[in-house]
Structure 1
Amino acid sequence: MQLISQSVFETDAACSIYLSLKPEIETQVTDRSRIEFKVDGSYLYLTVEADDLVSMRSTLNTWLRLIQVAYEVAVLTDST
């Protein structure tokens, strides 16, 4: 069964988040899921494809947390 999740994030820090996470995209951790991550202006697009529910959950948890941390760092550095 092929599972697909698509998420869109709107933030002024979209480019900073994308650039900070770009190295993570280039190294694939597992063969059970695939990531597409792109930026367009102030929008970030995250698409996750997975072969099973466990892999989908794990990949989403990882990437949503990475995006959250990158956002928090971008906001913190912009305010100083």
Structure 2
Amino acid sequence: MPDAPGAPHGVLLEFAYNDADFASRVERSVRQEVGEIEGDRTIATVSRDGSVLRVDVVADDLVALRAGLNTWCSLVEVAERCSAASEP
């Protein structure tokens, strides 16, 4: 989890793909959003290990955590659809 003093709630999202190249495209798409999304109650980090994409979300409270999870799941979903559409 990201180190966020005062942020007691957190979730690690893992998205496993069949292909490391696909995971890399999704990662590049969502990584640019880290630090750009409005809100001072949630922090997220994005990392990838081979074909597994990880998004760590920590928040000050459960409402902020839910909102952050919704945001990041939506961003990953859109990146997946765009990456799939661009495959030959």
TM-score (norm. length: structure 2): 0.82
1:6-63 deviations in Å (ceiling 9; x for gaps):
1111112110011111210142421101001111110101110000111001110010
Alignment partners' CA distance in 2, 1:4 and 1:56: 7
Structure 1 spans left out of the alignment, 5+ residues: none
Q: Could you tell me which residue of structure 2 aligns to residue 25 of structure 1?
A: 34
Mapped pair 1:9 → 2:19? no
* 2:38 match: secondary structure: coil
CA RMSD of aligned residues (A): 1.3
> Equivalent residue for 1:48?
57
Q: Identity over aligned residues, as a percent?
A: 32
Q: Report how far residue 71 of structure 1 moved.
A: 0.3
Aligned residues: 79
State the TM-score, normalized to the length of structure 1: 0.90
Query: Unpaired segments of 5 or more residues in structure 2?
Result: 1-6
Letter in structure 2 aligned against 1:31:
D
Higher normalized helix content (fraction of residues)? 1
Q: Which runs of 4+ in 1 moved over 6 A?
A: none
